[in-house]
A and B are shown apart, each in its own frame.
Chain A
Amino acid sequence: MTAVAPPRTATPARRKPRLMARAPQDTPAGFWTYLFLAVTLLFAAFPLYWMFVIATSNDEALAKLPPAIIPGDRFMTNVDEVFSLQDVYFAASLVNSVIVSTVVTASVLFFCSLAGFAFAKLRFKGSSALMLFVVLTLTVPNQLGIVALYIVMGKLGWNGTLLAVIAPGLVTAFGVFYMRQFIVNTVPDELVESARMDGATTMRVYANIVLPAIRPALAVLGLLTFVATWNDFQWPLITLSGTDFPTSMVAVSDLASGNYVIYRRVLAGAFIATVPLLVMLFIGGRQIVRGIMEGAVKS
């Protein structure tokens, strides 16, 4: 599309300056680039593939050399065992993970886009100071307050319930920051102003103008939030372990506890808990890639 500009420094050299002068992103990838990328991809995918291999095998697959690399035929047997283990609550855990991730994602999308809109397009006292606060909290690792969070949840009586896992995730500073950036760049001031002139309230502007315009950003933030919430382990482990109400990550770790760990079960459970995310990556991969790359340039 963008035609390569002819070399202005007119040295009609023999060493093909036109090719040399290309930026990397304009240079077609050669054999070695594809080869190295293919190897990279192999490394990225192999543990996932192998998880499936063991999830479909019997115990012997793990006790031989060279290691098994072809899937077996016992997937359903292993899955049955995982679901029927008494104190793991695997089926319930999948439902719980869906509930937690869905509620958290919906809440993050709503509250963060609302706040992002206010910071991007509305004038109010203290808005820049408050936005600075949001940016500063981006870097605070809130895992460090985990002890006090446990005490707070204890006072509320929420420990051991899904509420304890959901509540801390309902909003994120990153979400507000990301939404604000996107709205600043994509929603024209004039559009907001003219809607105002027509007597639209702020919420109506949000619903009728902002929301339709930021659908791509909602998709990105939604996918990133869902993945992060689904995969969260430390806090759910602390507040939910030992209950009959774990998330799927806690349930998978329960599969691996005990004196004698049966890895074909563990990996069958792990595989089931991973599949939803692989599906999301397959469907929304483009959005996830874009979200990560946009976040990089802006921050």
Chain B
Amino acid sequence: MSTTRAAPASSSHRSAPRRGRSGGDDRRLTWRNRLYRFDMRYMPYLMIAPFFLLFIVFGLFPLLFNAVVSLRNYRLDDPTLPYWAGFANFSKLVGDEDFWNALYNTFGIFLLSSVPQLLLALVVASLLNRRLRAQTWWRVGVLLPYVTPIVASTMVFSVFFSRDFGMANWVLGLFGLGGPDDPIDWRADKLHSWIAVATMVNWKWIGYNALLYLAAMQSIPRDVYEAAAIDGAGPWKQLWRITVPMIQPVVLFTVILSTIGGLQLFTEPMLFDPNAQAATGGPNGEWQTIAQLIYKVGWKDLNLGYAAAMSWALFLIILIVAGINYVLTNRLSGGRK
């Protein structure tokens, strides 16, 4: 019996243990055979199962379930409402001034943070892309903001941007701008609060993006530069004519990353507000972002259904903007040959 069984699975026979003893033990052999077949066939699935299970339960399912919630009346403070809301949450969204205001703020802050962020990262990367003494330490150094909790750095910047004794106004005063007699109130209007919040975002991400660019720069073949140098291109020209087009895939990657991150901005605008708990982003919503509004609608106004609808709107917006930015960057960074 055991021989007929073992015969077809000759490969398993070969790889069965050759520890010498118990070669004739039939039961043991079939057991090992089964174990082997199980190991080959099903073990891979067992190994990837934890990832997929956890990811589906806590990642994918919430995302899809969000769609269901957005079609429901889901108010934590009023469970008596009818179960389904249809598209009421979405039609409410269209006429919601808070939503459009938050969208406007989000885009404003996004522009002020992503463009300088990536341009400065490019400059820092090209500085790091020289033969440096203590090379590793320079690279580690520019990562200081990256490991700093946004909660902590935002608290520092909140003090920097205070009206009366803030570091920002003091520095500007040295250059004859504002000054102690006519200090800028960074929390009083849109533009100034956007600049303050964008500064925090820029500070956090320039070093990280610079390292991404640096990695790509170092994989550019050296002879490309040789040719350029013979053509007489200086360092600045080299950066724009050679380096940027050559690292274009990574540039696209960072543009997409900063779009996804920038449009979901939450912690910085949240904690820039001295009255953070209200999540209004300033007394009149001067710098309230969409992520912040979702938080306010969901957990301060307790209207989870409406917050879910807003999340879906944000998802769509991110998709569209990421697509537009992809095309734009593709043109700008590759087209100038």
| Closest Cβ–Cβ distance, residue A287 to chain B (whole Å) | 10
B18 CB contacts on chain A under 8 angstroms? 199
A92-124 with Cβ < 8 A to chain B: 111-112, 114-115, 117-119, 122-124
Is there an interface contact between B291 and A173, defined as CB atoms closer than 8 Å? Answer: no
Given contacts A111-B54, A292-B212, contact A51 B143 (CB under 8 A): no
B74 CB contacts on chain A under 8 angstroms? 151
Q: Which of A17, A37, A47, A253 has the most CB of B within 10 A?
A: A47
Is there an interface contact between B215 and A256, defined as CB atoms closer than 8 Å? Answer: no
- Does A70 sit at the interface, judged by CB under 8 A? no
Distance, CA A137 to CA B219, complexed state (A): 27
Is there an interface contact between A28 and B130, defined as CB atoms closer than 8 Å? Answer: yes
Closest to A239 in B: B299
A213 CB contacts on chain B under 8 angstroms? none
| Closest Cβ–Cβ distance, residue B193 to chain A (whole Å) | 17
Given contacts A36-B127, A168-B59, A273-B152, contact A44 B144 (CB under 8 A): yes
Q: Which of B55, B129, B152, B294 has the most CB of A within 10 A?
A: B152
B262-321 with Cβ < 8 A to chain A: 264, 266-267, 270-271, 274, 276-277, 291, 294-295, 298-299, 304, 307-308, 311-312, 314-315, 318
A252-289 with Cβ < 8 A to chain B: 252-253, 256-257, 261, 263, 266-267, 270-271, 273-274, 277-278, 280-282, 285-286, 288-289
- Does A202 sit at the interface, judged by CB under 8 A? yes
Interface size class on chain B is: 35 or more
Given contacts A67-B167, A202-B44, contact A267 B159 (CB under 8 A): yes
A57-65, A71-79, A80-88, A182-190: which one contacts chain B?
Answer: A57-65
Distance, CA A289 to CA B291, complexed state (A): 30
A132-186 with Cβ < 8 A to chain B: 134, 137, 139-152, 167-168, 170-171, 173, 176
Is there an interface contact between B212 and A293, defined as CB atoms closer than 8 Å? Answer: yes
Is there an interface contact between B15 and A122, defined as CB atoms closer than 8 Å? Answer: no
A1-48 with Cβ < 8 A to chain B: 7, 9, 17, 20-30, 33-34, 36-37, 40-41, 43-45, 47-48
B20-28, B96-104, B221-229, B327-335: which one contacts chain A?
Answer: B221-229
- Does A227 sit at the interface, judged by CB under 8 A? yes
Closest to B249 in A: A299
A50 CB contacts on chain B under 8 angstroms? 156, 160, 167
Distance, CA A171 to CA B47, complexed state (A): 13
A140 CB contacts on chain B under 8 angstroms? 59, 63
Closest to A252 in B: B151
Is there an interface contact between B264 and A37, defined as CB atoms closer than 8 Å? Answer: no
Closest to A123 in B: B44
Is there an interface contact between B48 and A25, defined as CB atoms closer than 8 Å? Answer: no
Is there an interface contact between A171 and B142, defined as CB atoms closer than 8 Å? Answer: no
Is there an interface contact between B315 and A144, defined as CB atoms closer than 8 Å? Answer: yes
Closest to A15 in B: B232
* Among B69, B126, B276, contact of A148 (Cβ-Cβ < 8 Å): B69
A36 CB contacts on chain B under 8 angstroms? 123, 127
Is there an interface contact between B127 and A170, defined as CB atoms closer than 8 Å? Answer: no
A144 CB contacts on chain B under 8 angstroms? 63, 66, 264, 311-312, 314-315
Distance, CA A203 to CA B60, complexed state (A): 28
Distance, CA A118 to CA B179, complexed state (A): 62
Is there an interface contact between B138 and A41, defined as CB atoms closer than 8 Å? Answer: yes
* Among A127, A145, A202, A203, contact of B65 (Cβ-Cβ < 8 Å): A145
B136 CB contacts on chain A under 8 angstroms? 285-286, 289
Closest to B200 in A: A47
Closest to B222 in A: A23
A-facing mask of B151-162, CB < 8 A → 1, else 0?
Answer: 111011111100
Distance, CA A152 to CA B65, complexed state (A): 9
- In the assembled complex, 21 residue pairs joining A and B whose CB atoms fall closer than 8 Å, in A order, are A24-B130, A24-B235, A37-B128, A51-B156, A62-B159, A130-B48, A143-B266, A144-B66, A148-B61, A148-B63, A202-B43, A231-B151, A252-B151, A267-B155, A270-B151, A270-B152, A274-B148, A274-B149, A281-B147, A288-B147, A289-B211
Point out residues on A near B: beta carbons under 8 Å.
7, 9, 17, 20-30, 33-34, 36-37, 40-41, 43-45, 47-48, 50-51, 54, 62-67, 111-112, 114-115, 117-119, 122-124, 127, 130, 134, 137, 139-152, 167-168, 170-171, 173, 176, 196-199, 201-203, 206, 227, 230-231, 233-234, 237-238, 249, 252-253, 256-257, 261, 263, 266-267, 270-271, 273-274, 277-278, 280-282, 285-286, 288-289, 292-297, 299
Point out residues on B near A: beta carbons under 8 Å.
14-18, 35, 39-41, 43-45, 47-48, 50-52, 54-55, 57-66, 68-69, 74, 123-124, 126-133, 136-153, 155-160, 164-165, 167, 170, 180, 203, 207-208, 211-220, 222, 224-226, 229-230, 235, 238, 243, 250, 253, 256, 260, 264, 266-267, 270-271, 274, 276-277, 291, 294-295, 298-299, 304, 307-308, 311-312, 314-315, 318
What 4 A-B pairs are tightest by C-beta distance, nearest first? A145-B62, A285-B140, A293-B215, A270-B152
A33-B127, A40-B142, A144-B311 are known; give 11 further A-B pairs, CB within 8 A: A20-B230, A24-B235, A25-B131, A26-B222, A28-B131, A41-B141, A47-B148, A50-B156, A148-B64, A202-B43, A289-B140
